[in-house]
């Protein structure tokens, strides 16, 4: 294998990986249901909500912003989750414990300070690095290069302690790197990693991939007992936790990146770094630094009973086969990146001076190792089935034959089935919401049509004479009773007709008289004429009205 040039990188997260972006999934920007976090933006939410719910949301947000308002808005979005799920553009896999944790807390206050003051539940979920145009997870090249840099610095330092002349230097970290990497006069252009380019690693098959939400929990590395009971870490005693979006472990070669090692072509110049790293030196440095750390961490977690055995067995199958042989021959290497990588993985052997937090009335301590470890968990209070954060397998290749055979694994094989289920669920919810919107539109159109017809009727009535208005009212009653099949000789229709006929007999004149007489015969034809004597009286009354035309 050449020592300079271009390589494609097949990258596998071996454990959950979170590379922070400073952005969170806010509880007013997502809902969780049926094993999935559904994320949406403000514009999408407004477009998805029915008009009456948009109005209600506007009323909530019109007042003074308070914690109570925030909880109210959280609950509002949860109550409208079906509309929001249909419009969500991004989903994250969520396990049942995280979903239950969310349901219990969304829009609620369940924590109190010692003085009884209410504390807002934190349901923010820290988002891992992603490509903004697509929303798909990435491994930033800067994070990969930073981990490689640590390994290379460690290789050059060879376990030496901090030089005495740097002990009091406030910029000792930068000065040490300049010294180890032989910067010329401290110029960054002389940094040897200037010749190393790492691009962002993107998903090879986004359709077969999904990120996951995990709890980050803190546990003591060594058991400490007091009064016969094991003492929890400070973070455990304070109920501290984090919710992190993570890359799932052991999805083979889920990401593809690139590595370029520039060659100076034998041309010497003050503008070139004096120290240069070959491919072999990079691979060796990474494996010499990270492989012992992985082995030590697995041993520690196993001894404490923390380790997720299914994950550990799957990882061992990877490391025992052709992948392990590639690591042993430095044709592949390990890296540790992102949140909770552990202090030992970001500091150099011989130079570790890690701050140890003590109790509130105790002084800080400094050691060459951390006393606690942050682990990925499906449950906030779990002490078993835990997994370390941040481990990556990097396999460089220029031809397909460079890649080792990947062992068959069933670990976390349910992501494809989960994605299909969530897509089907979202499609069904979208169809249901579309049907609801269609019914709402039809009701709105019907209401608008009724309002228009009523306005037209009122306008027409306003243009009629009192006599014409009376005739129109009788016609409306006749239409109503016909539609209902109601034939009542003494009902409202018959009463209105008799009142109009009696008034017309003395007070009306002109064509309205004939109109009323014709209408009266139509009404009695529908409801039926009274008995013979009264029938003659009604006919005589109608004729008298007709003759006033």
Residue that terminates a domain, selected from 357, 381, 405: 405
**CA gap 338, 387 in Å, rounded:** 15
- Residue 43, in any domain of the structure: no
Residue 117: what pLDDT? 46
- 353 and 478 part of one domain: no
Range of 398's domain? 5-22+126-263+272-405
The pLDDT of 413-428, averaged and rounded, is: 89
Q: Which residues contact 463 (CB under 8 A, 6 or more apart)?
A: none
More confident residue, 424 or 364: 424
Burial of 486 from C-beta contacts in 10 A (0-12 / 13-18 / 19+): middle
Please say whether the beta carbons of 141 and 259 come within 8 A. no
- 387 and 481 part of one domain: no
Tokens 């130079």 identify what position? 351
C-alpha distances in angstroms, 85 versus 42, 81, 179, 425?
13, 6, 55, 9
The pLDDT of 269-287, averaged and rounded, is: 86
- 384 and 503 part of one domain: no
Residue range 190-232, pLDDT digits in tens: 888 989 999 999 999 998 899 999 999 999 888 887 887 877 7
- 278 and 389 part of one domain: yes
Cβ burial 494-532 (10 Å sphere, 16+ → b, else e): bebbeebbeebbeebeeebbebbbebbeebbeebeeeee
Q: Which residues contact 370 (CB under 8 A, 6 or more apart)?
A: 221, 342, 343, 344, 354, 356
Q: Which residues sit opposite 260 in a β-bridge?
A: 6, 197
**Distance between alpha carbon 38 and the CA centroid of its chain, in Å?**
5
Please say whether the beta carbons of 11 and 137 come within 8 A. no
- 239 and 356 part of one domain: yes
* Segment among 233-247, 303-317, 434-448 with least mean pLDDT: 233-247
- Residue 437, in any domain of the structure: no
- Residue 9, in any domain of the structure: yes
DSSP line for 460-523: HHHHS-HHHHHHHHHHHHHHHHHHHT---TTSHHHHHHHHHHHHHHHH--SHHHHHHHHHHHHH
- 502 and 392 part of one domain: no
Residue 1 is encoded by which pair of tokens? 């294998």
Residue range 29-44, pLDDT digits in tens: 999 999 999 999 888 8
Q: Which residues sit opposite 17 in a β-bridge?
A: 247
Residue that terminates a domain, selected from 385, 405, 425: 405
Q: How confident is the model at residue 530 (pLDDT cuts 50, 70, 90)?
A: confident
- 296 and 181 part of one domain: yes
- 381 and 495 part of one domain: no
- 150 and 254 part of one domain: yes
- Residue 301, in any domain of the structure: yes
Tokens 């997994």 identify what position? 387
Is the pLDDT score of 420 beyond 80?
Answer: yes
**Distance between alpha carbon 369 and the CA centroid of its chain, in Å?**
35
- Residue 419, in any domain of the structure: no
Q: Measuring CA to CA, which residue among 164, 166, 194 is closest to residue 181?
A: 194
DSSP single-letter state for residue 107: T
Residue 113: what pLDDT? 45
Q: Which residues sit opposite 139 in a β-bridge?
A: 201
**CA gap 541, 499 in Å, rounded:** 12
Residue range 153-186, pLDDT digits in tens: 999 999 888 888 887 888 888 888 888 888 755 5
**CA gap 301, 160 in Å, rounded:** 28
Half-sphere exposure of 113 (CA within 13 A, CB side): 5
Tokens 């454990």 identify what position? 15
Average pLDDT of the chain to the nearest whole number: 87
Residue range 461-496, pLDDT digits in tens: 888 898 888 888 898 888 898 999 999 888 898 898
- 280 and 392 part of one domain: yes
Please say whether the beta carbons of 543 and 503 come within 8 A. no
Strand positions, DSSP E, 297-435: 333-336, 354-356, 365-367, 372-377, 387-388, 391-397
- Residue 57, in any domain of the structure: no
Is the pLDDT score of 354 beyond 70?
Answer: no
Residue 211 is encoded by which pair of tokens? 């990120």
The pLDDT of 373-386, averaged and rounded, is: 93
**Distance between alpha carbon 239 and the CA centroid of its chain, in Å?**
24
**CA gap 366, 352 in Å, rounded:** 9
DSSP single-letter state for residue 404: P
Is the pLDDT score of 259 beyond 70?
Answer: yes
**CA gap 66, 71 in Å, rounded:** 9
The pLDDT of 515-529, averaged and rounded, is: 89
Residue that terminates a domain, selected from 370, 386, 405: 405
Residue 366: what pLDDT? 57
How many helices (H) and strands (E) in the chain? Answer: 16, 22
**CA gap 457, 400 in Å, rounded:** 80
Q: How confident is the model at residue 265 (pLDDT cuts 50, 70, 90)?
A: low
- Residue 424, in any domain of the structure: no
- Residue 94, in any domain of the structure: no
Q: How many domains does the chain have?
A: 2
Please say whether the beta carbons of 14 and 315 come within 8 A. yes
The pLDDT of 51-60, averaged and rounded, is: 89
Is the pLDDT score of 100 beyond 80?
Answer: yes
**CA gap 75, 107 in Å, rounded:** 5
Cβ burial 48-57 (10 Å sphere, 16+ → b, else e): bbeeebeeeb
**CA gap 391, 334 in Å, rounded:** 7
- 401 and 470 part of one domain: no
Q: Measuring CA to CA, which residue among 139, 259, 251 is closest to residue 200?
A: 139
- 470 and 363 part of one domain: no
Q: Which residues contact 49 (CB under 8 A, 6 or more apart)?
A: 57, 80, 83, 84
pTM: 0.80
The pLDDT of 16-37, averaged and rounded, is: 93
* Segment among 76-80, 201-205, 230-234, 528-532 with least mean pLDDT: 230-234
The pLDDT of 248-256, averaged and rounded, is: 95
């Amino acid at each position: 294998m050449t020592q300079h040039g271009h390589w494609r990188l097949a990258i596998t997260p071996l454990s959950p990986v979170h590379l922070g972006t400073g952005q969170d999934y806010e509880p007013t920007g997502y809902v969780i249901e049926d094993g999935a976090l559904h994320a949406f933006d403000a514009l999408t939410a407004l477009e998805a909500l029915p008009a009456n719910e948009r109005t209600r949301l506007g009323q909530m947000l019109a007042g003074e912003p308070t914690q109570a308002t925030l909880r109210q808005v959280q609950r509002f979005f949860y109550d409208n989750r079906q509309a929001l799920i249909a419009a969500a553009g991004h989903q994250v896999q969520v396990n049942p414990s995280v979903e239950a944790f969310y349901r219990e807390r969304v829009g609620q206050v369940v924590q109190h300070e010692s003085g009884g003051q209410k504390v807002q539940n934190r349901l923010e979920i820290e988002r891992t690095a992603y490509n903004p145009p697509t929303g798909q997870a990435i491994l930033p090249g800067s994070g990969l290069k930073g981990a490689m840099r640590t390994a290379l610095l460690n290789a050059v330092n060879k376990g030496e302690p901090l030089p005495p002349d740097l002990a009091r230097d406030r910029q000792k970290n930068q000065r040490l790197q300049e010294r180890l990497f032989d910067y010329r006069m401290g110029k960054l252009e002389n940094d040897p990693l200037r010749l190393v380019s790492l691009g962002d690693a993107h998903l090879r098959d986004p359709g077969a991939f999904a990120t996951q939400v995990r709890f980050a929990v803190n546990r003591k590395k060594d058991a400490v007992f007091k009064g016969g009971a094991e003492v929890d870490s400070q973070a455990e005693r304070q109920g501290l936790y984090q919710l992190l979006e993570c890359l799932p472990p052991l999805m083979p070669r889920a990401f593809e990146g690139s590595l370029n090692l520039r060659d100076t072509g034998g041309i010497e110049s003050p503008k070139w770094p004096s120290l240069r790293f070959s491919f072999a030196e990079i691979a060796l440095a990474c494996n010499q630094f990270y492989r012992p750390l992985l082995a030590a961490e697995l041993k520690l977690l196993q001894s404490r009973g923390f380790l997720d055995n299914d994950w550990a067995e799957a990882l061992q199958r990877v490391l025992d086969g052709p992948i392990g042989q590639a690591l042993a021959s430095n044709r592949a290497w390990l890296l540790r990146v992102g949140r909770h990588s552990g202090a030992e993985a970001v500091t150099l052997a011989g130079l570790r001076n890690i701050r140890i937090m003590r109790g509130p009335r105790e002084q800080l301590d400094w050691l060459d190792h951390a006393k606690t470890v942050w682990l990925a968990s499906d449950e906030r209070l779990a002490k078993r089935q835990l997994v370390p954060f941040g481990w990556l397998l990097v396999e460089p290749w220029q031809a397909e034959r460079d890649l080792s055979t990947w062992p068959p694994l069933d670990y976390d094989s349910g992501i494809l089935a989960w994605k299909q289920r969530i897509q089907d669920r979202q499609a069904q919810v979208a169809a249901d919401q579309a049907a609801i919107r269609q019914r709402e539109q039809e009701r709105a159109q019907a209401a608008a049509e009724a309002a228009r017809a009523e306005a037209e009727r009122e306008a027409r009535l306003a243009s009629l004479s009192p006599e014409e208005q009376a005739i129109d009212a009788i016609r409306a009653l006749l239409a109503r009773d016909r539609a209902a099949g109601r034939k009542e000789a003494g009902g409202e229709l018959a009463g209105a007709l008799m009142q109009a006929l009696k008034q017309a007999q003395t007070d009306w004149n002109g064509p309205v008289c004939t109109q009323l007489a014709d209408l009266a015969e139509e009404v009695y034809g529908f409801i039926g004429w009274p008995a013979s004597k009264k029938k003659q009286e009604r006919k005589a009354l109608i004729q008298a009205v007709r003759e006033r035309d």
